[in-house]
Amino acid sequence: MVDPVELTQRLIRYDTVNPPGREGDCAALLAGLLSDAGFATRLVPLGDGRASVVARLGKAGARKPLAFTGHIDVVPLGTRAWSFEPFCGELDGDRVLGRGASDMKSGVAAFVAAAIGMAASAGNRTEIVLLITAGEETGCDGAESIVRAGLQGEAGALVVCEPTANVPFVGHKGALWLKAVLKGITAHGSMPERGDNAVYKAARAVNRLACFHFGVDGHPVLGAPTINVGSLHGGLNINSVPDRAEIEIDLRTIPGIAHAELRERIRAQMAEDADLETIIDLPGIWTAPESPWAARVAEITTKVTGEPRAVKTATYFSDASVLVPAMGGPPTLILGPGEPGLAHQTDEWCGAERIRQSTQIYRDIIADWARGA
C-alpha cells in the first residue's frame, strides 16, 4: 500500500520548479513504484533531466481505458518570502506544506496510490492508464511529447487531478495566446521624421484590441470569453525611434469559438501590419454534468466528502486540452485534492484529509469503471 499523504510529502521534496523543470528524478520514483505494482511503465523524456511517465495496467474490456492525469512540475516560488522552506514537504497539523502541495503533487500522489491499491481487484477487468506529465505549467509540453510519441492511446473517460478541493469540475475555457510583432524603421530620436515608430503602431493596435467584441453569448456555466493584453514591449533607448514592438494577447475561449478564426479576427482588429505568432493554442474542455459518467462521479464524490453536488468549472487550463482531442474526446472531469485558491501562491499547502478523501474517490471511480467493463 502506498500512503498518499506520505507520497505527496516525498514528491514535494523534489525541486521541479519549471522553468527549468528537472522532473526526471521525481518521474523515476513514480515509475518505479508503478512498475513494482505491475504497471507497464514508460518514461517519456522532455529534454535534459526531464521526463513524463505513462503507466498502464490491465486489459481492455468492453470499455476503453479509464485515464488519470496530473503534472509534476511546479511554478516558481515568486518574490515574496515563504514562512517555511518551500520544498520541505512537512506536515503541520492537517496541512502538507510546500510548493506543489495543491498544484498538484497531492493529486498525482492520490491517483498513484489509488491505482496501485486497486491494481489487483480491477486490473483483470479493465484497463487503467496514468499520464504523469512534466512541463504542464509552461504550456502542456510534457503532454504534447506523450502525444507526439503516440503513447496516450484512447480513453473512455479522463480524470484530471488538478486542484478542485474534491469537487468535480466539468470543464474549463480554452486559451489562445498570441504575440504580435510590429516593425518600423529606426532613426535618431532627434529626427523622428526619418523613422517609422513601431511603438506608435503597437499603441494603436492595443487601443483597438481593448474594444474587441467576441460577438457570442456567454456559456451558461463557463461564462463569457475574455481578452487581455498582458504585455507591451518596444524600443531600446530613449533617443532612438523604435523599429520593433511586441504585444502579447491572452484570449480565453468557450466551446463554439474556433481558434483559427479568432486569430484572424484579432489580426483584423489590430488594423496594423503585424506578424502574428501563436504561443499556445489549447481548446476548452466541457462535459455535460448530466451525462452518465459525470453524474456517477458526482455521486461518488458526494458520498465521500459529504458535500452537496454543484456544477463548477475551473478558471485555469490544463493538460486536458492536449490529451482530450488525442484520446478520442472522452468525457473529462477535473477533480483533485488541492485547494484551487492556493495554486501558485506563497506558503502553498494541501489538506491531508482531502488527499485521503480523493484517494478514496479515485478508488471508487476505478471500481465503478471496472463494474461496467
In whole angstroms, the minimum distance from the beta carbon of 41 to Zn ion comes to: 22
Contact between 339 and Zn ion by CB under 5 A: the answer reads: no
In the range 144-163, which residues lie near Zn ion by CB under 5 A?
Answer: 162
CA distance 229 to 202: 11
CA distance 368 to 126: 10
- Closest to Zn ion by CB, 100 or 117: 100
- Closest to Zn ion by CB, 162 or 243: 162
In whole angstroms, the minimum distance from the beta carbon of 343 to Zn ion comes to: 6
Active-site choice (23, 127, 136, 137): 137
Residue 94 neighbours by CB distance under 10 Å: 13
Q: Which of 235, 234, 243, 227 is nearest to 178 (CA)?
A: 227
In whole angstroms, the minimum distance from the beta carbon of 124 to Zn ion comes to: 33
Q: Which residue has the cell 471500481?
A: 367
73 is catalytic: yes
In whole angstroms, the minimum distance from the beta carbon of 104 to Zn ion comes to: 5
In whole angstroms, the minimum distance from the beta carbon of 99 to Zn ion comes to: 12
Tell me the per-residue interface mask from 160 to 199 with Zn ion, x by CB under 5 A, - otherwise.
Answer: --x-------------------------------------
Helix, strand, coil abundance in the chain, percent, nearest 5: 35, 25, 40
Q: Which residue has the cell 473512455?
A: 156
By beta-carbon distance, which residue lies closest to Zn ion?
103
- Closest to Zn ion by CB, 103 or 368: 103
48 is catalytic: no
- Closest to Zn ion by CB, 201 or 354: 354
Look up residue 73 and give its DSSP letter.
-
CA distance 136 to 156: 22
In whole angstroms, the minimum distance from the beta carbon of 179 to Zn ion comes to: 23
- Closest to Zn ion by CB, 103 or 339: 103
CB of 234 closer than 8 Å to CB of 245: yes
Tell whether omega for the bond before 118 is within 30 degrees of 0, i.e. cis. no
- Closest to Zn ion by CB, 11 or 247: 11
- Closest to Zn ion by CB, 65 or 338: 338
In the chain, the amino acid numbered 102 is: S
Burial 182-197 (b: 16+ CB within 10 A, else e): bebebbeeeeeeebbb
Tell whether omega for the bond before 65 is within 30 degrees of 0, i.e. cis. no
Q: Which residue has the cell 511554478?
A: 75
CA distance 116 to 1: 7
CA distance 64 to 128: 9
Tell me the per-residue interface mask from 85 to 124 with Zn ion, x by CB under 5 A, - otherwise.
Answer: ------------------xx--------------------
Which residues are within 8 A (CB) of 116 and not within 5 positions of it... i.e. 6 or more apart?
1, 2, 33, 34, 37
In whole angstroms, the minimum distance from the beta carbon of 138 to Zn ion comes to: 11
Which of the residues are catalytic? 73, 137
Q: What residues line the site for Zn ion (CB under 5 A)?
A: 103-104, 162
